Amino acid sequence: MLPDERTTPSGEHPVRVEEDLLSARHAVRAAAVAAGFSIVDQTKIVTAASELVRNAYIHGGGGTMTVESVRDSGGRRGIRLQVRDEGPGIADVEQAMTDGFSTGAGLGHGLGGTRRLVDDFDLDTEPGRGTTVTVVRWKP
Amino acid sequence: MNAGLPILRLGDILLGGLLSDLDDKTALAFTDELTARIANEGIRGVIVDISRLEIIDSFVARVLMQLAGTGRLLGTRMIVAGMRPAVALTLTELGLQLTGVRTALNAEQAMELLGWRRPVEAAEEAPHAS
Amino acid sequence: MLGTDDSQVRTVLARVLEEDRSALARDWAGPEAGDGSHELRREAAELLAALRNAVTGTLPVSRIVDQDPAVRDALTSLSERRARAGAQPSATAMAILALKRTMLGAIERHTDDSALRYRAALLANELLDSAGVLTFEVYSAGRERIIREQHNQMLELSTPVVRLWRHVLAVPLIGTLDSARTQVVMNSLLESIQANEARVAIIDITGVPTVDTAVAHHLLQTVSAVRLMGAECVISGIRPSIAQTITQLGIDLSHIVTRGSLADALATAMQLLGDSARPVTG
């Protein structure tokens, strides 16, 4: 999956009520600042986080977000996010990867856009089994 | 409890702003109020100030695009003002166009776009009849 | 390494790392003493403490360097610091190996059991060899990052944003427009637009040798970002040959204002400023 990462103690955040979306964003922002990300890179990872937790909240019936500071084998620093939900899972992955940003109509999952904002992206889902999205953005 | 987002009126232009912690309820209330006032008060221009937004995700993008669409149907020009550079760069990386939404650097430039000129003759104008 | 990774051996190592800590740190800092010796001693202390904790833990020795966060962090910081100071890559690895020598000496002092000594030495060897390899990897990656950072800084300097007129900015692009340069340009340009309340940004590509689909994509991205900030973009410096290439490649720039020369672009910009209330057409 994402083999070369080493982690430091993580933060787990529930995504159950609307206010959790806010705290989740703040937590990711704080982690990105602590990892020394530029404002632009902070904005990108926080935007990705916002998409993922909103998906978990709206489509997944709520879930959990974990944010961790990581290092790869070359010593590069990064932020790793994992958003898990125990919802219905995604039946049509391809459809879900289309942009929730440009499809003004449906709510969409917007995972395609999120993928463009991060470096490593992993989607683990199955109808009936819930969804786990894991992303990493590295400090250049 | 959220007090609704304030909306100011300048002539036939409405000026409102979005705050960073925008939730569904607040967005809905904002949209509803704007739409109602556009229809009832003969508004021809709406400026939505987004200078406080640290991120624009698909939710906010949708709110903005829908507002613009609704406004257009009601014959009003909507301008989104004050996007932060980091947000613009992120939206660009996402490939998002924000179609149908006109943007301005700040509220002042938005006002100029809507044809609002500063009242330079104010000093020379006769006082209004009371 | 059958039999070396058992608790008796690990206990010996742990004792060495604990009781001989200061001697080990002194030896580490020793040969390179001078202004930095305080820093070096602290560095050694951090590494030794992390190693000691890891050795008393449950991770197999062969995986400690790879998987123990504290050990990895200590080695990584150490390498990065030396990389930034411009040290040779071998110097850091040598420092780790020198630690090995010291440790082997300390192991001998801690036990007379020759079989135990032998096994402890093998374990220390394995541990510190993998540490040396890691520092080398981190060093290389660190140097690459520094080179990239310096490259970006140079890009920024070589891509000035010029105030041509009130509310009109110009960016002369010189050289290839790749991903890295595009990020730098977009960043500077957007910040400048905000700071100067610019309404028009002229991007001059006279100095860009070729325009292929990748370059066109980067240009379009830049235009997109500028527009999101409410400013209009004019691309100038489109030479006839470039115009032909763009058309042949089927790249659609019809929604962008383009001009052959900077002078023309400036004239267009002035027009755009005067017509701010009307929609822009190409």
Check residue A64 and give its pLDDT.
96
Q: For A139, which residue in chain C has the nearest alpha carbon? A: C145
Q: Are strands C162-165 and B77-81 parallel, antiparallel or unpaired?
A: unpaired
Best residue of A47, A53, A81, A99 to probe chain B, by most B CBs closer than 10 Å: A47
- Kindly indicate the confidence band of residue A79, based on its pLDDT and cuts at 50, 70 and 90: very high
CB contact residues (below 8 A), chain B span 39-98, against chain A: 54-59, 61-62, 65-66, 84-87, 89-90, 93-97
The mean pLDDT of chain C is 84
Q: Provide, as residue numbers in chain A, all residues whose Cβ is less than 8 Å from the Cβ of C69.
A: 6-8
Task: Give pLDDT tens digits for A112-128.
Answer: 888 989 999 999 998 88
Torsion of Cα atoms, C19 then C21 then C23 then C27, to 10°: 150
Chain B residue set in contact with C, beta carbons under 8 Å = 81, 83, 85, 87-89, 91-93, 97-98, 103-106, 109-110, 112-115
Q: Which chains touch C (3 or more CB pairs under 8 A)?
A: A, B
The mean pLDDT of chain A is 84
Q: For A5, which residue in chain C has the nearest alpha carbon? A: C67
Best residue of B26, B54, B55 to probe chain A, by most A CBs closer than 10 Å: B55
Over range A44-65, report the average pLDDT. Answer: 93
Check residue C137 and give its pLDDT.
83
Instruction: Quote the strand ranges of chain A, DSSP E.
Output: 6-7, 11-15, 63-71, 77-85, 120-126, 130-138
Lowest mean pLDDT among B53-62, B77-86, C175-184: C175-184
- Kindly indicate the confidence band of residue A26, based on its pLDDT and cuts at 50, 70 and 90: very high
Task: Give pLDDT tens digits for C10-41.
Answer: 988 999 999 888 888 877 766 555 556 677 77
Task: Give pLDDT tens digits for C138-174.
Answer: 877 777 877 888 887 777 777 789 998 899 999 988 8
Check residue B119 and give its pLDDT.
60
Check residue A81 and give its pLDDT.
97
